[in-house]
Amino acid sequence: MNSFRIKRMKTSSFGAALLLCAAGASIAEPTTYDQFIADQRIAKRAKKSEAGQRRLDWWRDARFGMFIHWDPSSVAACEISWSKLYYDDVGDTIKPNPRPGPGLMGMNEWHEPWLDWFHPPVPREVYDNLPKSFYPGMFDADRIVAQAKAAGMKYIVQVSKHHNGFCMWNSEFTDFDMSATPFKRDIIGEMAKACEKAGMKYGIYYSQRDWHHPDYGPERMAKYNEYMRNQIKELLTRHPNISILWFDSGGYPFDLWEGDALYRMVHQLKPDIIINDRCGLPGDFSSPEQLIGSYDLERDWESNMTFTGFWSWHGYQTKVISYEECLQRLVQCAGGNGNLLMNIGPMPTGEIDTREADRLRRVGEWLKVNGSAIYGTKGGPFKPNENFASTRKGNRIYLHVMKWPESGNLTIPPLDAKLVKAVLMRGGKVDVKQSDAGFEISVPKESREPGVTTVGMEFDRNVMDLVPAVPPKPVSGGKPVKSSSRFSQMNGYEAARVNDGDPKTRWVVSDAVSAVCFPW
């Protein structure tokens, strides 16, 4: 049986004060807490304070980040945390635990693949003891960061603690951490340092849900919340370069986590931190999961997506999406004015799955040539569809063609601006004809690229606020890109929108909410 205990707080107040100063050194633009929390409660960017809008400038320009889901679950090639939801005695069949099943979350109807997360059914005895076999001997933080950099990614968000409660660093507050593994090394610490060295932005994912902590439960939340605050404080003080806080319990109310005390502490240590929408508030951006977000110029968003359908490593028998699909996701996100946080699930060896590494390397090659059409751009003016997406900067519109119509030429709707010049970003032949009916774009087959061909079009005026005269239609029977609205609901954005502008409206912990929350 698993025998990990929760440690008492050991940090002396003097030590804590020193760490606090270290964290303070990186503070760029302090805002008051009142301002900070008011911004967190507002969804639309334009309604936030100026500082609240500016804090996201680097993130918005970055467009492409790496998500890392990795912990001892990789040793059994099973799903991170969720494999614990359906334990089996010996591993023959899936048996529901007394915990609420996916049906309760209404998952079945809309996201069938989600059920696969529970396969293979790992016996309790095995799952709960995986940390004892976690020895990623090939782990090299500098190498992972270099791979992210070569892929053209500008930031990394790494799971520090997932729902199963295991901590990927050595925490003062629990033994259920790297010290319980034969490896012992502080993985989060090494990654934070490697990112700092390489000029890569670093963020942590931290799950408020904790299926290991003895005080995680309806009557005992105060103690658990203190533990959570201590841990986040520990991470932010040890690693002042943490720039993103990625929570993951969006449908749960802010007050359940004593959100005010939590955010106050976070703000004190890192006033310019960026926070997602999964702590019961709209936060800085929404986080559509496994879906491309909808075109939105008012609300920042970041799609988080996997290569395999799973978050953590499930072995070499899983399918990995192609390079072309990965690249198309990136241009669809940029074209919708959002970011892509592409997930990798490192192997138990500590390395990135070679197939995922291959896709990333190739996207990086593409970005070396086409990067100026992605970084620092705004989505549009055309809404992305299956055939093309568009981005823009100053006088330029970049057209990212994913699928050419049978006829050979791509037609796009008219704009109120005169085309001055059109080039293929990679070089080669392109011909663009402008008429009242729109633009006809022709690129000979030999000049097209696998996945995405990007055409740079220069106009006689600034195009940042241009709106197309007619909305574009899919060219050859293509379907529009799936909207993220269903998942946004799951993540509290819809509900948060109701609260928007009225800080007095608070969530209440209803019976229904606690039925879903506990004993999860």
Q: What's the min distance (Å) between Cβ of 104 and ligand GLC?
A: 14
8 A C-beta contact, residue 311 and residue 116: no
For 1-21, b/e burial (b = at least 16 CB within 10 A) is: eeebebeeeebeeeeeeebee
Which H or E run includes 188? helix 187-198
Kindly identify the residues of this chain, within the stretch 46-75, that bind ligand GLC according to CB under 6 A. 69
Dihedral of alpha carbons 233, 240, 157, 338, sign: positive
Binding of residue 248 to ligand GLC (CB under 6 A):
yes
Cβ-based nearer residue to ligand GLC, 186 or 289: 289
Minimal distance in Å, beta carbon 446 to ligand GLC? 40
Q: Are 224 and 263 in contact (CB under 8 A)?
A: no
CB of 194 to ligand GLC, least distance (A): 22
Query: Nearer to ligand GLC by C-beta: 80 or 256?
Result: 80
Q: Which of 39, 63, 49, 90 is nearest to 374 (CA)?
A: 63
Complex with ligand GLC: residue 111 or 448, whichever CB lies closer = 111
Binders of ligand GLC among residues 312 to 331 (CB under 6 A) are: none
Concatenating the DSSP letter of every residue in 233-295 gives HHHHHH-TTEEEEEE--TTS-GGGGTHHHHHHHHHHH-TT-EE-S-SSS--S-B--BSSPPPP
Q: Which residues pair with 459 in a beta bridge?
A: 419
Minimum distance from residue 289 beta carbon to ligand GLC (Å)? 4
Q: Minimum CB separation from ligand GLC for residue 448, in Å?
A: 34
* Position 32, amino acid: T
- Applying CB under 6 A, the site for ligand GLC has a residue count of 6
Place of tokens 């003097």: 14
Subset of 72-111 contacting ligand GLC (CB under 6 A)? 80
Based on CB atoms, which residue is closest to ligand GLC, 248 or 353? 248
Q: How far is the CB of 75 from ligand GLC (least distance, A)?
A: 17
Phi and psi at residue 243, to the nearest 5°: -115, -10
From the number of C-beta atoms within 10 Å of its C-beta (0-12, 13-18, 19+), residue 275 rates as buried
**Residue 69 vs 267, nearer CB to ligand GLC:** 69
Q: How far apart are CA 166 and CA 198, in angstroms?
A: 27
In this structure, the number of other CB atoms found within 10 A of the CB of residue 92 comes to: 10
* Given 87, 155, 285, 311, the residue binding ligand GLC (CB under 6 A): 311
Closer residue to ligand GLC in complex, CB, 289/300: 289
Check residue 183 for interaction with ligand GLC (CB under 6 A). no
How near is the Cβ of 250 to ligand GLC at its closest, in Å?
7
Nearer to ligand GLC by C-beta: 398 or 493?
493
What strands, in cross-sheet order, belong to the sheet with 201-206?
274-275, 242-247, 201-206, 155-161, 64-68, 339-344, 302-306
Q: Tell me which residue has its CB nearest to ligand GLC.
A: 289
**Closest approach of ligand GLC to the CB of residue 123, in Å:** 20
Binding mask 270-309 for ligand GLC (x = CB under 6 A): -------------------x--------------x-----
Rule CB under 6 A: is residue 128 a binding residue for ligand GLC?
Answer: no
Length of the chain: 520
Please state the closest distance from residue 157 (CB atom) to ligand GLC, in A: 10
Closer residue to ligand GLC (CB): 286 or 294: 286
Q: Which pair of structure tokens corresponds to residue 265?
A: 């502490």
Q: Which is nearer to ligand GLC, 179 or 332 (CB)?
A: 332
Which residues of the shown chain bind ligand GLC in the complex (CB under 6 A)?
A: 69, 80, 248, 289, 304, 311
